[in-house]
Structure 1
Amino acid sequence: MVAAMLRVDLKRLLERLNPYCIDVVQAAAAGTAARGQCEVRVEHVLQVLADDAQTDFGLILAGFGLDRRELGPLLEQVLSALPGGSTGRPVMSPLLIDLLQESWLVASIELGEPTIRSGSLLLALLGSQSVDGSSPAVEYLRRISREQLAERFADIVSLSAETEPAECGQTTPVQATAPKAFSEPRVSGEYLRRFTVNLCDKAREGVIDPVFGREDELRRLIDILARRRKNNPILVGDAGVGKTAVVEGLALRIAEDEALSPAERRLPAMLWDVTLVLLDVGLLEAGAGLKGEFEDRLQRVLADIQASPTPIILFIDEAHTLIGAGGRPGGSDAANLLKPVLARGEVRTIAATTWREYKRYFERDAALSRRFQPVVLDEPSVLATAQILRGLKSRYENDHGVTIREDAVDAAAQLAARYITGRFLPDKAVDLLDTAAARVRLSLTGRPDALDRKERDIEDLRREIEGLMRDRQGGLPVDEDALRAAWGRLDVMKQEARTLRDRWRREKLLVDRLFTLRAVMARVTQAPGLLRDIKPDDVRAELAECLDELEHAQGEAPLVRHEVDPDAVARVVSQWTGIPLGKVRRDEAASVLGLKYALRERIRGQDPALETLTRAIRASKSGLKEPDAPLGVFLLAGPSGVGKTETARAVSDILFGEEASLLALSMSEYQERHSISRLIGSPPGYVGFGEGGVLTDALRRRPYSVVLLDEAEKAHPEVLSLFHQIFDKGGVSDAEGRAVDCRHSLFFLTTTVQETPEQDLPDNSGDYAGHNQPAASPHQADRRELLERIRPQLAECFPPGLLARTTIVPFLPLSLEALEEIVSLKLTRLAIQAEEGRRMLLEFSPDVVHAVARMAEDSGSGARGVDNVLRVEVLPRLAEAILRRSGTEIRDTDVRPAVLRVECEHEDGAASRCWRFLVRELTPGDE
Structure 2
Amino acid sequence: MAISRDNLSFEPGLNLLRVSQRKIKKILGRLIFIFLIGVGLYGVLVSVSHSWQEYRTLFYFSLLTDMFLFYLWRQKKSYRPIRPPKEGEKLEVSVFLDEKSRQLLEDAYRLARRSRYRFLRPIHFFAVCLKEKKFRKIIKRLDCSVEQVTEKTESILEKSLSEESGEVFGPDLSADFKKIFCDAYVFCLRRGYSQIGPLDILWAISQQKNMVGMVFDEFGISPSEIEKVIEWARLEGEIRRSEKNFFWWRLFKPAGKLNRAMTAVLTPTLDKVSQDLTLLAKRGEFEMVIGREKELEQIFNFFNAGRVGAVLVGEDEVGKKSIVKKLAQLMTEENVPNFLKDKRLIELDLGALVSLGGSQKIEEYLRQVVYEVNWAGNIVLVMKDIDNLAGLKSQASGLDLSEIMVSALEIKAFFLLGTSLPANYASKIEGKILGRVLDKIEIETPARDFLWKILIAKIYLIEKKLKVFFSADALDQAIDLADRYIYGKSLPAKTIDLLTEVGYLISGRKDSDGVINGDDVVELVSKKTKVPLKDTEETEKRKLLDLEKLIHQRLVNQEEAVKAVAAAMRRSRLEVKKRDKPIANFLFVGPTGVGKTELAKTLARVYFGDEKRMLRLDMSEYQEKRGIRRLIGLRTDEGTEKGYLTEAVKRQPYSLLLLDELEKAHPDILNLFLQVMDDGRLTGADNETINFTNIILIATSNAGTNFIQNKIKDGISYEEIDRELKDKVLLEYFRPEFLNRFDKIVLFTALSFENIREITRLFIKEINGGLEERAVTLEAENEAIDELAALGYNPLYGARPLRRAIQEKVEDVVARMFLEDKVKRRDKIIVKKGLVFEIKKGKEF
TM-score (norm 2): 0.53
**Residues 1:373 and 1:613: Cα distance change in structure 2 (over 3 Å):** farther
Distance across 1 between alignment mates of 2:648 and 2:396: 36
Q: Look up the match of 2:732.
A: 796
**Tell me, what secondary structure is at the counterpart of 2:369?**
helix
Distance across 2 between alignment mates of 1:271 and 1:652: 63
Structure 2 residue corresponding to 1:750, chosen from 700, 719, 728: 700
8 Å contact kept, 1:787–1:810: no
**Residues 1:375 and 1:600: Cα distance change in structure 2 (over 3 Å):** farther
**Residues 1:668 and 1:921: Cα distance change in structure 2 (over 3 Å):** same
Q: Look up the match of 1:901.
A: 828
What are the within-5 Å matches in structure 2 for residues 118-267 of structure 1? Answer: 188-208=266-286, 219-220=294-295, 223=298, 226-227=301-302, 228=305, 229=307, 232-237=310-315, 242-243=317-318, 246-248=320-322, 250-252=324-326, 254-255=328-329
What are the within-5 Å matches in structure 2 for residues 263-282 of structure 1? Answer: 275-282=344-351
Using the TM superposition, give the Cα deviation of residue 879 of structure 1 relative to its aligned residue in structure 2, in angstroms: 3.6
Question: Counterpart amino acid of 1:189?
Answer: T
Matched, 1:876 2:803: no
Q: Look up the match of 1:351.
A: 419
Question: Counterpart amino acid of 1:333?
Answer: D
**Tell me, what secondary structure is at the counterpart of 1:750?**
strand
**Residues 1:378 and 1:256: Cα distance change in structure 2 (over 3 Å):** closer
8 Å contact kept, 1:642–1:862: yes
Using the TM superposition, give the Cα deviation of residue 793 of structure 1 relative to its aligned residue in structure 2, in angstroms: 1.2
Q: Which whole-Å deviations, capped at 9, do the CAs of 1:364-386 have from their partners, x for residues lacking one? A: x74446746374655999x9999
8 Å contact kept, 2:481–2:525: no
Matched, 1:665 2:629: no
Distance across 1 between alignment mates of 2:456 and 2:762: 47
Using the TM superposition, give the Cα deviation of residue 790 of structure 1 relative to its aligned residue in structure 2, in angstroms: 3.9
Distance across 1 between alignment mates of 2:819 and 2:641: 49
**Residues 1:234 and 1:829: Cα distance change in structure 2 (over 3 Å):** farther
Q: Which whole-Å deviations, capped at 9, do the CAs of 1:300-335 have from their partners, x for residues lacking one? A: 434444555445251415x56554654889965333
Structure 1 residue corresponding to 2:404, chosen from 337, 347, 360: 337
Distance across 1 between alignment mates of 2:452 and 2:809: 56
What are the within-5 Å matches in structure 2 for residues 12-161 of structure 1? Answer: none
Distance across 1 between alignment mates of 2:785 and 2:394: 69
8 Å contact kept, 1:671–1:714: yes
Distance across 1 between alignment mates of 2:651 and 2:426: 19
Structure 1 residue corresponding to 2:665, chosen from 715, 718, 737: 715
Distance across 1 between alignment mates of 2:595 and 2:350: 56
Distance across 2 between alignment mates of 1:188 and 1:627: 61
Distance across 2 between alignment mates of 1:741 and 1:369: 37
When the two structures are aligned, how many residues end up with a matched partner? 570
Using the TM superposition, give the Cα deviation of residue 348 of structure 1 relative to its aligned residue in structure 2, in angstroms: 2.9
Question: Counterpart amino acid of 1:223?
Answer: Q
What are the within-5 Å matches in structure 2 for residues 521-532 of structure 1? Answer: none
Using the TM superposition, give the Cα deviation of residue 336 of structure 1 relative to its aligned residue in structure 2, in angstroms: 2.8
**Tell me, what secondary structure is at the counterpart of 1:805?**
coil
Using the TM superposition, give the Cα deviation of residue 713 of structure 1 relative to its aligned residue in structure 2, in angstroms: 1.3
Using the TM superposition, give the Cα deviation of residue 788 of structure 1 relative to its aligned residue in structure 2, in angstroms: 3.9
Q: Which whole-Å deviations, capped at 9, do the CAs of 1:83-116 have from their partners, x for residues lacking one? A: xxxxxxxxxxxxxxxxxxxxxxxxxxxxxxxxxx
Q: Which whole-Å deviations, capped at 9, do the CAs of 1:321-362 have from their partners, x for residues lacking one? A: 55465488996533333445667875332314485x667655
**Residues 1:831 and 1:657: Cα distance change in structure 2 (over 3 Å):** closer
Distance across 2 between alignment mates of 1:652 and 1:618: 15
8 Å contact kept, 1:905–1:917: yes
**Tell me, what secondary structure is at the counterpart of 2:271?**
helix
Give aligned-pair identity as a percent: 25
Matched, 1:373 2:448: no
**Residues 1:824 and 1:428: Cα distance change in structure 2 (over 3 Å):** farther
8 Å contact kept, 2:829–2:837: yes
Distance across 2 between alignment mates of 1:782 and 1:584: 38
**Tell me, what secondary structure is at the counterpart of 1:899?**
coil
Q: Look up the match of 1:286.
A: 355
Structure 2 residue corresponding to 1:918, chosen from 824, 828, 837: 837
Q: Look up the match of 1:608.
A: 560
Using the TM superposition, give the Cα deviation of residue 679 of structure 1 relative to its aligned residue in structure 2, in angstroms: 4.0
Distance across 2 between alignment mates of 1:833 and 1:384: 58
Question: Counterpart amino acid of 1:196?
Answer: S
Distance across 2 between alignment mates of 1:433 and 1:277: 31
**Residues 1:290 and 1:797: Cα distance change in structure 2 (over 3 Å):** closer
Distance across 2 between alignment mates of 1:664 and 1:232: 49
8 Å contact kept, 1:232–1:342: no
8 Å contact kept, 1:899–1:921: no
**Residues 1:661 and 1:390: Cα distance change in structure 2 (over 3 Å):** farther
Using the TM superposition, give the Cα deviation of residue 873 of structure 1 relative to its aligned residue in structure 2, in angstroms: 3.5
8 Å contact kept, 2:590–2:708: no
Using the TM superposition, give the Cα deviation of residue 714 of structure 1 relative to its aligned residue in structure 2, in angstroms: 1.4
What are the within-5 Å matches in structure 2 for residues 359-508 of structure 1? Answer: 366-368=432-434, 371=438, 373=440, 375=442, 392-393=458-459, 395-396=461-462, 399=465, 425=491, 427=493, 430-431=496-497, 434=500
Using the TM superposition, give the Cα deviation of residue 864 of structure 1 relative to its aligned residue in structure 2, in angstroms: 4.8
Give the root-mean-square deviation of aligned CA atoms. Answer: 5.5
Q: Which whole-Å deviations, capped at 9, do the CAs of 1:176-233 have from their partners, x for residues lacking one? A: xxxxxxxxxx953333322222334434444345667xx67x8457535643448523
| Range 700-709 or range 640-649, more displaced | 700-709
**Tell me, what secondary structure is at the counterpart of 1:188?**
coil
Distance across 1 between alignment mates of 2:600 and 2:458: 39
Question: Counterpart amino acid of 2:740?
Answer: A
Question: Counterpart amino acid of 1:750?
Answer: T
What are the within-5 Å matches in structure 2 for residues 625-644 of structure 1? Answer: 632-644=584-596
Q: Which whole-Å deviations, capped at 9, do the CAs of 1:359-418 have from their partners, x for residues lacking one? A: 76557x74446746374655999x999987665455445545677788877777777667
Using the TM superposition, give the Cα deviation of residue 655 of structure 1 relative to its aligned residue in structure 2, in angstroms: 8.0
Q: Which whole-Å deviations, capped at 9, do the CAs of 1:705-757 have from their partners, x for residues lacking one? A: 65443222112233334444555566666667776666665543321113254
8 Å contact kept, 1:408–1:566: yes
**Residues 1:393 and 1:360: Cα distance change in structure 2 (over 3 Å):** same
Unaligned runs of 5+ in 2: 1-263
Using the TM superposition, give the Cα deviation of residue 833 of structure 1 relative to its aligned residue in structure 2, in angstroms: 4.6
